[in-house]
Amino acid sequence: MDIIKVTLTALLSVAALFIITKIMGHKQVAQLDFFDYVSGITIGSIGAELATELEEPYRPLVALIVYGCVSVLLNLCTQKLPRTRKFINGTPTILLENDKLYRENLKKAKLDLSEFMLLCREQGYFDISEIQVAVYEHNGKLSILPKASSRPATPNDLNITPKEAHIGTELIMDGRIMGENLSRLGKSEAWLMTQIKKQGYADTSEILLCIYRKEEKRVTIYGCD
């Protein structure tokens, strides 16, 4: 009987966490600010407790819902009331500008020089003299603006006009024909089979991925190993 209860409460925990994460949005699982980090840890702990609470599972469930609602409300506040953002999320801090390191800002960001240099190397800058501005964001990431002499050349610098890049459309994935994508492009399965046979494939089961680039009218096929 206990095994059945544990199974049911675990399923309830999974469902509740899934729904709350969907409501809170992808930010919770991507770039975490201070409150998202704290609420994420707490919600995870409550979810684990809910999965094993056999006597009164409604208690951790209610706590789970409350934390989820508070997180959603705070996100709404930061969107509707911009002035609250600096109190809830914090503000960016300039650590380096025009070859000058700001010691007080490093202390404010709780970083020492070795940690700052590590963050710069992670961004690909092993020589900080190549950096014009370094900003420590409220989510704990370092944003870097390189000096003009150190940034990569752009097409505008070279006075050339490259072709626009476009996203391809998947027509076959794991051997399955993506019928909806074919219909959206106005193509038929017969047309698709003709295209794959031109490239030496007899059947879609031999194809891991097939992409069609409409602007180039080109089909790219990646076969199975």
Q: What is the token pair recorded at 114? A: 């070795």
* Residue 168 CA: distances (Å) to CA of 142, 177, 180, 215, 216: 32, 15, 14, 9, 10
Q: What is the token pair recorded at 93? A: 């801090």
- Pair (72, 111) in one structural domain: no
- pLDDT value at residue 26: 46
Q: Which of 86, 105, 125 is the endpoint of a domain? A: 86
> The domain containing residue 73 runs over which residues?
2-86
Burial class (CB in 10 A: 0-12, 13-18, 19+), 16: buried
- pLDDT value at residue 75: 74
- pLDDT value at residue 1: 55
- Residue 55's contacts (CB-CB under 8 Å, 6 or more residues apart) are none
> Is 151 inside a domain boundary?
no
> Is 116 inside a domain boundary?
yes
- Pair (104, 81) in one structural domain: no
> Is 211 inside a domain boundary?
yes
Q: Which of 69, 86, 103 is the endpoint of a domain? A: 86
- Pair (141, 175) in one structural domain: no
> Is 190 inside a domain boundary?
yes
Q: Which long-range contacts (CB under 8 A, 24 or more apart) does 95-101 make?
A: 95/134, 95/135, 95/136, 95/142, 96/128, 96/131, 96/133, 96/134, 97/132, 97/133, 97/134, 98/132, 98/133, 99/129
- Pair (111, 72) in one structural domain: no
Task: Report how far Cα 53 is from the mean position of its chain's Cα atoms.
Answer: 32
- Pair (121, 65) in one structural domain: no
Q: Which of 86, 103, 130 is the endpoint of a domain? A: 86
- Pair (132, 184) in one structural domain: no
pTM score of the predicted model: 0.56
- Pair (191, 122) in one structural domain: no
Q: Can you give the CATH number for the domain in which 186 is found?
A: 3.30.240.20
- pLDDT value at residue 59: 76
- pLDDT value at residue 29: 43
- Pair (73, 106) in one structural domain: no
- pLDDT value at residue 2: 58
- pLDDT value at residue 183: 92
- Pair (31, 82) in one structural domain: yes
> Is 159 inside a domain boundary?
no
- Pair (6, 80) in one structural domain: yes
Q: Considering its fold, how many domains does the chain have in total?
A: 3
Burial class (CB in 10 A: 0-12, 13-18, 19+), 71: buried
Q: What is the token pair recorded at 225? A: 């190993």
> Is 136 inside a domain boundary?
yes
Residues in the chain: 225
Could you state, in chain order, the average pLDDT of each consecutive group of 10 residues for the chain (225 residues)? 62 66 51 60 73 72 76 75 69 91 90 92 93 88 90 84 84 92 92 92 91 88 83
